[in-house]
Amino acid sequence: MILRALLLVLVVAVSGACSQDIQLSESFGGPHGTEFSDEASVVVGQTIGSITIRAGERVDGVSLEVTGPKAATFSHGGTGGSGNKLTLAAGERITSMEAHWGKKGGHTRIFYLSFGTSAGNSVSGGSMTDDKNSVTAPEGFQLGGFFGRSGDEIDSLGAIWARIEAPPPATEPPAPATVAPLKEEPAPTKKAPPADSSGSGAPPAESTAASGASAESSEEDAPVQATEVESDAGSEASAATASGDASAAASTAGSEVLPLNLLQLLAVPLKVQRKKHQ
């Protein structure tokens, strides 16, 4: 379906382009004879060398000589009658056509033709009738060929107008400036906290909060603990000092008592000896 739609758009676009450069006039005459058309061979910017009308009482035939860009002659109808030829000067264009028609043997045929040029020249042939009409090329167009119906004579005829010069190419809008994409800075990598005993990569929220609270409590208790440590150290130092003093006092006391005890011990034998001597 998509392919068909694209093809349809392409056909419409081509048809539109052709309709802008090639245009068909109204045709005059009857429905008899064989249909013909030069449209497929007509191109933009043609140069016409001459036009010839063959006619007697009626129009037998018509021919158009194309000299460029590709030489060709578009001829239609029969070879009877006399030829009336108009050769165009350089830059001269055929810009109008007049046709007269009437009945012959129960068929409507072209009885008279006349063509005019941009330079004011004309060529004609046949017999005028009351049934007639004329067409003029649009601005910037010229006669490039014919379409209609014919046999030994011209039964009907219309003009194919072709653009004299190819239109200038459409100006394309400037391409938008290319903006280099912004370089994205890599996001800073956060170090994952140490895994807890459960094996999870991140500590639970409650544990984190508890750790924060413990840290704050530790910071608040730190001076108190330090004071207690200092007090304990002072107490120990005082105790040590007191113990040292006590030991020193005990040593002093011992040294003072020791001689008395020795005297008492020495005195006992003396008493015994004294008793023996008595």
Q: What are phi and psi of 251, to 5 degrees?
A: -65, -40
Residue owning tokens 């006992």: 268
| pLDDT for res 217 | 44
Q: Higher confidence at residue 124 or residue 106?
A: 124
Q: Stretch 223-237: mean pLDDT, rounded?
A: 43
| pLDDT for res 25 | 98
Instruction: Inform me whether the pLDDT recorded for 253 exceeds 50.
Output: no
| pLDDT for res 172 | 66
Total structural domains in the chain?
Answer: 2
Bond prior to 223 in cis (omega within 30° of 0): no
Instruction: Inform me whether the pLDDT recorded for 203 exceeds 50.
Output: no
Q: Which of 129, 163, 197 is the last residue of a domain?
A: 163
| pLDDT for res 250 | 37
Which structural domain, as residue segments, surrounds residue 142? 20-163
| pLDDT for res 180 | 62
Note whether 24 and 122 are same-domain residues: yes
Instruction: Inform me whether the pLDDT recorded for 2 exceeds 80.
Output: no
pLDDT above 90: percentage of residues in the chain: 51
Residue 147 lies in a domain: yes
| pLDDT for res 166 | 73
Query: How far apart (Å, rounded) are the C-alpha atoms in residues 14 and 207?
Result: 76
| pLDDT for res 126 | 98
Note whether 35 and 147 are same-domain residues: yes
Average pLDDT, the chain: 75
Tokens of 104: 């012959």
Residue pLDDT, tens place only, 88-108: 999 999 999 999 999 998 999
Q: Which of 163, 187, 219 is the last residue of a domain?
A: 163
Residue owning tokens 């060709």: 72
Residue pLDDT, tens place only, 54-73: 999 999 999 999 999 999 99
Residue 191 lies in a domain: no
| pLDDT for res 233 | 42
| pLDDT for res 20 | 87
SS3 123: strand
Residue 192 lies in a domain: no
Instruction: Inform me whether the pLDDT recorded for 28 exceeds 60.
Output: yes
CATH number at 90 reads 2.100.10.30
Virtual torsion, Cα 134, 138, 142, 146, nearest 10 deg: -50
Instruction: Inform me whether the pLDDT recorded for 240 exceeds 60.
Output: no
Would you give the end-to-end CA distance of the chain in angstroms? 159
Tokens of 97: 């056509």
Q: Higher confidence at residue 218 or residue 66?
A: 66
Q: Higher confidence at residue 101 or residue 178?
A: 101
Note whether 140 and 33 are same-domain residues: yes
Instruction: Inform me whether the pLDDT recorded for 184 exceeds 60.
Output: yes
User: What's the pLDDT band for 41 if we cut at 50, 70, 90?
Assistant: very high
Q: Stretch 12-32: mean pLDDT, rounded?
A: 76
Q: Which of 111, 138, 163 is the last residue of a domain?
A: 163
